[in-house]
């Protein structure tokens, strides 16, 4: 593939998502095991991830380029990016639903079956989107 200069926005997002992985892991485990600060780590993870995802999608949608770098985008890479993007949008919807159901649980002081049911698919899809984005970043810009 050959190394191409990494775009600043891509580097920022790739690095900024790493702490989100830790926050989501903490929120998931703490919710399952009754650890403290589940609400804080989950809310921080969702807010941080939504902010980064929306920023990056808007940046790319409105012409944010690769700072002079030109990647060779093959049809298979276009498909890969499309699938990655669809998964990311599904994750964003799930994150909003997690925030809403979490808020309702907090207000009503009782568990929500919806919140519990959405947790595993949201975490799985988030890590799928996260890792698939990180792999592309590493393959194109690091290796």
* Residue 23 lies inside a defined structural domain of this protein: yes
Query: In the predicted model, what is the mean pLDDT of residues 62-88?
Result: 77
Residue 44: pLDDT over 60: yes
How does pLDDT run across 80-136, given as a tens digit for each residue?
Answer: 888 998 999 999 999 999 999 999 988 998 888 999 899 999 999 999 999 999 998
Residue pair 53/92 in contact (Cβ under 8 Å)? The answer is yes
Question: Does residue 1 fall inside a structural domain?
Answer: no
Distance CA 59, CA 39 (A): 30
Residue 79 lies in a domain: yes
Specify if 2 maps to a domain: no
Considering the domain boundaries, does residue 94 fall inside one?
yes
Tell me the two tokens of residue 129: 């989107």
Residue-number span of the structural domain to which 118 is assigned: 8-142
Answer whether residue 68 shows pLDDT above 60. Answer: no
Tokens 């989100």 sit on residue: 20
Q: Given a cut of 90, is residue 29 above it in pLDDT?
A: yes
Query: Which pLDDT does position 64 carry in this prediction?
Result: 64
Count of domains for the chain: 1
Q: What is the pLDDT of residue 124?
A: 96
Using 50, 70 and 90 to split pLDDT, how confident is the model at 4?
low
Angstrom distance (rounded) from CA 68 to CA 65: 7
pLDDT of residue 119: 92
């Amino acid at each position: 593939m050959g190394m191409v200069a990494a775009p600043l926005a891509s580097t920022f997002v790739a690095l900024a998502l790493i702490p989100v992985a830790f926050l989501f892991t903490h929120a998931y485990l703490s919710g399952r095991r009754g650890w403290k600060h589940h609400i804080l780590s989950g809310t921080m993870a969702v807010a941080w991830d939504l902010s980064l995802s929306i920023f990056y999608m808007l940046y790319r949608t409105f012409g944010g380029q690769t700072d002079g770098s030109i990647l060779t985008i093959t049809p298979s890479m276009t498909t890969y990016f499309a699938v990655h993007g669809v998964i990311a949008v599904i994750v964003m919807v799930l994150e909003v639903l997690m925030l809403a159901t979490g808020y309702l649980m907090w207000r009503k002081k009782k568990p929500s079956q919806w919140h519990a049911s959405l947790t595993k698919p949201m975490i799985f899809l988030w890590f799928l989107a996260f890792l698939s984005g990180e792999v592309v970043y590493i393959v194109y810009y690091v290796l």
